Amino acid sequence: MMKSYMQRKMDLINQQLNEIYTENMALNKDLAKAMNYSLMAGGKRLRPILIMAAADALGVDGEKFLRLSTSIEFIHTYSLIHDDLPAMDNDDYRRGKLTNHKVFGEALAILAGDALLTMAFEIIATDKNVDAETKVKIITEMSKAAGAEGMVGGQVIDMQSENKKIDIQTLKQMHAAKTGALFCAAIRSGAILAGADEKQLANLTEYARQFGLAFQITDDVLDVVGDEKTIGKPVGSDEKNHKSTYVTLGSLESAKALAQEAVDKAKASLVDFGENAEFLRALVDYLITRNK
């Protein structure tokens, strides 16, 4: 069920992304190529899937919000392009392909990321299936998650923590902002689109927080034990960059135990949603068994 659900949603998302790209071919061709290179480089499309899955959990067909859901993939892709830059993580490969700046040069990679981020909010603002008040709420969620309170703020903590041993609380704060905030924005946006009440929104927000934690811990584990060909990027980069992780601050086993604890808490937050949330339960279980 989980795999078929994800595959259907991935196919729909990729089709929608292609349509949006085609609509914007009037852009400078070099810029369009650089944007599309990373946007269509693969990936699990987890964040837009989570928007639709959160709506589904509330008994509303998430596919009604397909176009709006793609906006978060633009934000996510921008963040990957910028994370890979020489001034940041200085990575050569992403999803098994050369990183954007390795193909198009550093300046165009930066501008492609800027354009993707900006286009995300255009997609939300121009969606004809969502009323204006709800659009403002979604834009607020996305902008907070992408900005100083979210990804950008988390990246700053990450940069400032290189070559330092930080405590577990700082590590959690960093990843809650850098990785978890966008997961929270996805889940909360889907809930808002589906008309969630305060209790439902709070429960789904807790799911998202625990989901993000389990996701990041598993990333840290895979950076130690993962296969480079399967993951699509170099392993051991955390050690190379002298970064504190859930593994280095504890052990491989303690990190796995912490991930399982997060999964259990995530599933507990879904107790009121019944069968409609079965995909969300299966997905968070999958997180700690994934190999990429």
**Which tens digits make up the pLDDT trace of 259-283?**
999 999 999 999 999 999 999 999 9
CA-to-CA distance for 149 and 100, rounded, in angstroms?
26
Instruction: Specify the pLDDT at position 190.
Output: 98
pLDDT, tens digit, 9 for 90 and up, residues 55-91:
999 999 999 999 999 999 999 999 999 999 999 989 9
Q: What are 20-57's pLDDT values in tens digits?
A: 888 776 678 899 999 999 999 988 999 999 999 999 99
Segment 148-179, tens digit of pLDDT: 999 999 999 988 888 888 898 999 999 999 99
Whether 234 has a pLDDT exceeding 90, the answer reads no
Q: Is residue 239 part of a domain?
A: yes
In a domain, 155, yes or no: yes
Mean pLDDT throughout 100-116?
97
- What does the pLDDT read at residue 205? 98
What is the rounded average pLDDT for all residues in the chain?
91
What is the domain extent for residue 138?
2-287
In a domain, 111, yes or no: yes
Question: Any idea what the CATH number is for the domain that residue 263 is in?
Answer: 1.10.600.10
124 HSE (CA, 13 A, CB side): 29
Report the predicted TM-score, pTM, of the whole model to 2 decimal places.
0.92
pLDDT reported for residue 80 = 96
pLDDT in tens, 197-227: 999 999 999 999 999 999 999 989 988 875 5
Report the phi/psi class of residue 290: left, alpha or beta, with left for phi > 0 and alpha for psi in -120 to 50: beta
pLDDT at 108: 97
Tally of structural domains, the chain: 1
Residue 261 counted as domain residue: yes
The answer to whether residue 192 is domain-embedded is yes
Query: Assign residue 243 a region: left if phi > 0, alpha if psi is -120 to 50, beta otherwise?
Result: beta
Instruction: Report the pLDDT value the prediction gives residue 223, as an integer from 0 to 100.
Output: 84
Residue whose entry in the numeric block shows the structure tokens 């400032």: 160
In a domain, 292, yes or no: no
222-230 contact pairs (CB < 8 A, 24+): 222/290, 222/291, 222/292, 223/247, 224/252, 225/252, 226/291, 226/292, 227/291, 229/96, 230/291, 230/292
Strands (E), the chain: 93-94, 97-98
Give the list of residues 6+ apart from residue 194 with CB closer than 8 angstroms, or none: 54, 55, 58, 59, 60, 62
Q: Which of 179, 211, 180, 198 lies closest to 277 in space, CA to CA?
A: 211
159 part of a folded domain: yes
Do the Cβ atoms of 45 and 20 come closer than 8 Å? Answer: no
